[in-house]
Amino acid sequence: MTDKLLQGPFFRGSSKLRIALTGQPNCGKTTLFKAVSSTSTQHGKFTGTNRSYNKSHVQIDMDEVKLLDMPGMVSLRHLEGDDLEALKYLLWGDARPLVSQHEHSQPPAPFSRPDILIHVIDASVLQRSLELTLELSELGIPMVIALNMMDQARAKGMHIDTEKLSRILGVPIVETVAIKGHGISQLFTTAITTAHRKQQPQRQRPHQHIQDYLDGFMQKHITAQIKQGFLLPKYFLCTQLIEKDPYFSTEMKQHYPDIAHSIESDMTEKAYQFPRSIADEIKTDRQHRATELAEQVCSLRHYSRQVRWEDRWDAFFLDPNWGLLGSLSVFTCILFMVFEVSALLDSMTAAKLNDLISTWQPTGALETIGRAVIDGLIGLIGIVIPYMIPLVLMLVVLERSGIMQRIAFVLDRFFHHLGLHGKVAFPFLLGLGCNVPAIAATHSLASKRDRIVSSLLITFVPCSARSAIILALGAKYLGAFGVFAILMLNMIVIACLSRLLTLRYPETSPGLIQDIPPYRLPSWQSIVEATWHRTKDVLTIVTPLLVGGSILLALLQYHELDHFLNQVLSPITVWALGLPQELGVPIVFGVLRKELSLLMMYQALGTEMVMQTINWIQLSVFLVFLNFYIPCISTFAIMLKVIGRKEALFSIVLSMSVALALACAVRLILEIINAFL
């Protein structure tokens, strides 16, 4: 696969490929555009019109694409007003031929005409769509057909021979269901290949008597001067003039009145050759050819009412109405894993180990260091066994089975509001268990900007440790409303920070083609190998920092420097947050594992009945600060690998600033409320 991707030349930089999505209204063209567009879509209108277009940059393997969503077009004939400007873009782009230079000072659009068209067809109404296909094939632009809504066509019992249709039209055809993501990856890969080959559609010749008339018309009237003036494919210009298209006929009369008069006389003179007007004859012939073509490649078959299990799963995960429910069901399973299965595993591993060494009170410096090493290793076990391995296992299974890609596709538009792609959905979800595997999972994102922004935001996702503290203290003393308010504050902070981070990282991530693979049952060997590959960094990166940090803090306590540390931190704990000075060290120890802050809080206050020594405002401020301030050292360690030292340090500054600002704001608000109670 890698060798294939590295074959050039590539469409990159100033040589980006320009692709225009064309099709009739309601063919799924805009749905296709939204499925692959970037987090920042550009909107505009064709010059002097209300006809809007959407433009986005899209990354396709090593190639870069400027993708344009054109307005829906029923036909290329007899267009007026706003629709005409859209056609002019397809014909001339940001240039103007001689016959058009007297119009607006600005071209129809501020970018060049497309290098290739993706013509989106509603497969369930194939005959009607093929008329536009025949017209587009006359433009001389390479084209790929997206035979969209194939699920609806099959539901009608339609069988379309796409290979035969492709041979007749001379263009590649890809079956798609854009609303479910099927075929999109293959479609754009085919478009890249077609653009490299510069493969133009095969012009569909009309019936012989019309073709003879067109040949004679072109030879007599379409001179070199006319070709230079209009800069159009000859047969397209001929049919537009013969069908008396208002725009082209008017331009011909204004710029070449003698030839226009000759054309009118010639058409009047030879009208007797046809049973109806020449314009009607050509139009009828095009409709007949579209019908004939549809009949050649499409047949009706008995449709079995038996629905495949794959279709049922897709209806659950990819359907516009039910897809979100499918994603929520998977999220529910992961939440169950975090708060039930992982909690059980934690009680059977790290908790038991902590109980075993709880009676060991080291007396000397060496014993203190030994106890710190063991505490660090137990902390590592408490991260890896209960949270990391089960969650990564689930992630790998969902990814290898094809479910994760479907959830990412459904959630893509939601994450666009955060300036990210749907592929970050699972890292965010993993963050509810542990931020370490969540940030490690962002390593697979193609965009460096997306890796950095998603990693920074994931540190504000309440992991199981922070959730445990909030539930242990908040639920007991602040009630359900207090817990809900703190968790909602997390969501608000993530949403606001996503907007603010766009100022620091203003570059727009290109759109991504999300491949929807078939469902499959992964082998245990592949699951274990992938899980090990994604967790091995914890042993090499997180372990030294976790153990080293544990030793450092243990030595501070051994040399009775914790009182000094409390005094150093008093400007934050006492002055800013209004907390007892004794809570400085518990907050610092939360850098190792957040639960340590809770245990040391009990030790510092001398009781587990914390409301005997602090009030509900202080408890709320403590929980808010603990929830947002510096992520644990394990998270920081994995950030060093994924996003680098500079951004990891920025994460610390960001989290401290947010935690301090929010805690102070909560303190002020609650004190004002308390004053009026």
User: Cis peptide before 9, with omega less than 30 degrees from 0?
Assistant: yes
Label residue 4 by pLDDT band (50, 70, 90): very low
Within a 10 A sphere around the Cβ of 414, how many other Cβ atoms? Answer: 13
CB–CB of 301/159 below 8 Å? yes
pLDDT in tens, 134-154: 999 999 899 999 999 988 888
pLDDT in tens, 360-375: 878 788 888 888 888 7
CB–CB of 413/533 below 8 Å? no
Is the predicted pLDDT of residue 306 greater than 60, yes or no?
Answer: no
Lowest mean pLDDT among 3-17, 185-199, 312-326, 525-539: 3-17
How many residues are there in the chain?
Answer: 677
Is the predicted pLDDT of residue 417 greater than 90, yes or no?
Answer: no
More confident call, 547 vs 577: 577
Segment 52-74 shows an average pLDDT of: 87
Helix (H) or strand (E) holding 60: strand 52-60
In whole angstroms, what is the distance from residue 175 CA to residue 157 CA? 16
In whole angstroms, what is the distance from residue 437 CA to residue 628 CA? 19
Burial class (CB in 10 A: 0-12, 13-18, 19+), 429: buried
Label residue 6 by pLDDT band (50, 70, 90): very low
Lowest mean pLDDT among 92-96, 185-189, 377-381: 377-381
Is the predicted pLDDT of residue 7 greater than 80, yes or no?
Answer: no
In whole angstroms, what is the distance from residue 395 CA to residue 460 CA? 20
In whole angstroms, what is the distance from residue 280 CA to residue 273 CA? 13
Within a 10 A sphere around the Cβ of 387, how many other Cβ atoms? Answer: 27
- Please provide the average confidence, as pLDDT, over all residues in the chain: 82
Q: Which tokens in the block code for residue 556? A: 């501070």
Nearest residue to 111 via CA among 59, 40, 42, 38? 42
Q: Which of the given ranges, 41-45, 362-366, 491-495, 539-543, has the highest pLDDT on average?
A: 491-495
Is the predicted pLDDT of residue 214 greater than 80, yes or no?
Answer: yes
Q: Using a pLDDT cut of 70, give the percent of the chain over it.
A: 89
pLDDT for 2:
40
pLDDT for 171:
94
Is the predicted pLDDT of residue 572 greater than 60, yes or no?
Answer: yes
Is the predicted pLDDT of residue 5 greater than 50, yes or no?
Answer: no
pLDDT for 1:
38
pLDDT in tens, 155-169: 888 889 999 999 999
Segment 621-640 shows an average pLDDT of: 86
User: Domains in the chain, please, with CATH?
Assistant: 2-197 (3.40.50.300), 208-300 (1.10.287), 315-508+527-676 (no CATH)
In whole angstroms, what is the distance from residue 507 CA to residue 73 CA? 33
Within a 10 A sphere around the Cβ of 431, how many other Cβ atoms? Answer: 27
Is the predicted pLDDT of residue 59 greater than 80, yes or no?
Answer: yes
pLDDT in tens, 175-205: 999 888 888 989 999 999 999 988 889 888 8
Segment 371-398 shows an average pLDDT of: 77
Label residue 596 by pLDDT band (50, 70, 90): low
CB–CB of 247/79 below 8 Å? yes
pLDDT in tens, 465-515: 777 677 667 767 787 788 788 888 988 998 889 888 878 887 766 666 677
pLDDT for 63:
86
